[in-house]
Amino acid sequence: MTSPLLLPYEGPRLSLRNRIAMAPMTRGRADDVTGVPNPLTARYYAQRAGAGLIVSEGIWADVLGKSGPGVPGLVTEAQVAGWRQVTDAVHVAGGTIFAQLWHVGRMTHPFILPDGATPLAPSAVRIESERIYTNAGNVDHVTPRAMTTAEVEGAIGAFAREARNAIRAGFDGVEIHGANGYLIQQFLAENTNLRTDRFGGSRENRLRFALDVVEAVAAEVGPGRVGLRISPDNPENEIAERDPRGTYRALVDALDPLGLAYLHIIERGAYQALADLRPRWSGTLIGNYNGPEATPLGAGEEVLAAGLADVFSFGRLFISNPDLPARLATGAPLAAHDPATVYGGGAEGYVDYPDEAVPAIR
């Protein structure tokens, strides 16, 4: 029987050759000074174009939203030109690629930002229990500076500008990164948002930044080219959501009428987000499971068979199996990735994992 992951997908605003998405993965290989993607990046994504949908690594919308060494941007003309090489290569290979729009808020450090700038966040709440990787090694987090209301509005504008640049660079659409404890989730969560202006306090106010970003991006490039990624009840990066069910139900109810390309839900924590939110979302839903080990193909198949999502995204399996859908089709074995070459460096562990199954089905 054909795996449900291999069936073509015809959604309301999205047509994909199969239901396997490549999840966004930071690989830290851009030029650290210019934020321009590495020339190898075009080959890396083109090798993975057999995915129904590729979501790019997180790309900063503003240099103050950069998470670490070698993370690319989509602000300058040189960055747009660099990404154009990538999207052209993916399209020649028959793939579809969305750009992930990213601002990390407090999840950065003066050693990463230009001129030793202090990270910005909804509120001045420091990460206490984890350290952060910089060019000087792992260091303690600093206390971020609470954004002024004008800076919050500026960040919304930065997402919209990045979306416009993504389309100029040839991306088929954009995915707003609202997950994993970065800026958007820092506004959603009670422990990181202590604001007293219209972006904090009540649930309605905590949702405002996410909704304003989605609306600004949709106004810029059209809602049918916009996805949003969320991780309800995410326990990582010192996020503590007091009421994930209430928060994400309200968010999804507000988003559903907008006609977005998709919602991408990472299953985290104790809250069963896919099952709870699926009936409230009329558009395409992409599932993902973030656990300690790479999620196996069978987990995605089960989620699709249960009707909990339309498409399922895999991250770590795509690092070492560039031809993942073809391997599933042919039953070829899956390779494990080398953790030492995930971030930074050059071709090794990036574009040198072999395509095994592709020749067998060509």
Residue 58's Cα: distance from chain center in Å? 5
Which tokens in the block code for residue 262?
A: 């998709």
> Which region among 165-173, 199-207, 308-316, 322-330 touches ligand FMN (by CB under 6 A)?
308-316
Could you say which residues in the range 44-63 bind ligand FMN, by CB under 6 A?
A: 57-58
Residue 289 pairs in a beta bridge with 267
For residues 109 and 140, give the distance between their C-alpha atoms in angstroms, rounded to a whole number.
9
Nearest approach in angstroms of CB 27 to ligand FMN is 7
Q: Which of 66, 106, 161, 177 binds ligand FMN (CB under 6 A)?
A: 177
Tokens of 108: 């950065």
- Among 5, 16, 20, 23, contact with ligand FMN (rule: CB under 6 A): 23
Binding residues for ligand FMN, total number by CB under 6 A: 21
Could you say which of 17, 66, 106, 229 contacts ligand FMN (CB under 6 A)? 229
Q: In this structure, are residues 51 and 19 in contact, taking their beta carbons and an 8 Å threshold?
A: no
For residue 348, the 8-state DSSP code is T
Beta strands in 25-125 (DSSP E): 53-60, 97-102, 120-121
Residue 231 backbone phi and psi in degrees, to 5: -135, 75
Shortest distance in whole angstroms from residue 174 CB to ligand FMN: 13
**Is the separation of the CB atoms in 123 and 202 below 8 Å?**
no
Rounded Cα gap, residues 284 and 306, in angstroms: 15
Across 191-209, b (16+ Cβ under 10 Å) vs e yields ebbebeeebbeeeebbbbb
Pair of tokens at residue 238? 């010192």
* Residue 179 makes contact with ligand FMN by CB under 6 A: yes
Q: What is the nearest approach in angstroms of ligand FMN to the Cβ of residue 323?
A: 16
CB of 117 to ligand FMN, least distance (A): 21
- Spell out, one character per residue from 336 to 355, where the chain touches ligand FMN: x when CB under 6 A holds, - when not: ------x-------------
- Pick from 27, 31, 104, 32: nearest CA to 65: 104
Question: Does 66 contact ligand FMN by CB under 6 A?
Answer: no
Residue among 9, 44, 182, 271 flagged as catalytic: 182
Closest CB to ligand FMN among residues 146, 239: 239
What gap in Å lies between CA 158 and CA 61, rounded to an integer? 6
Smaller CB separation from ligand FMN, 10 or 130 = 130
* Residue facing ligand FMN at closest CB distance: 315
Q: Is 266 in the site for ligand FMN (CB under 6 A)?
A: yes
Smaller CB separation from ligand FMN, 193 or 321:
321
Q: What is the dihedral of CA 106, 55, 74, 177, to 10 degrees?
A: -30
Residue 44 known to be catalytic: no
Residue 72 near ligand FMN by CB under 6 A: no
Contact 310, 281 (CB under 8 A): no
Rg of the Cα atoms in the chain: 19
Among 183, 214, 294, 308, which residue sits at the site for ligand FMN (rule: CB under 6 A)?
Answer: 294
Q: Which of 85, 100, 247, 284 binds ligand FMN (CB under 6 A)?
A: 100
Point out which span in 133-141, 152-160, 200-208, 314-322 binds ligand FMN (CB under 6 A). 314-322
Find the binder of ligand FMN among 3, 26, 47, 234 (CB under 6 A).
26
| CA 333/CA 309 separation, integer angstroms | 25
Q: Which one of 38, 47, 79, 180 is in contact with ligand FMN (CB under 6 A)?
A: 180
Q: According to the binding rule CB under 6 A, does residue 232 interact with ligand FMN?
A: no
Q: Which residues are catalytic?
A: 182
Binding site for ligand FMN (CB under 6 A): 23-26, 57-58, 100, 177, 179-180, 229, 266, 288, 290, 294-295, 314-317, 342
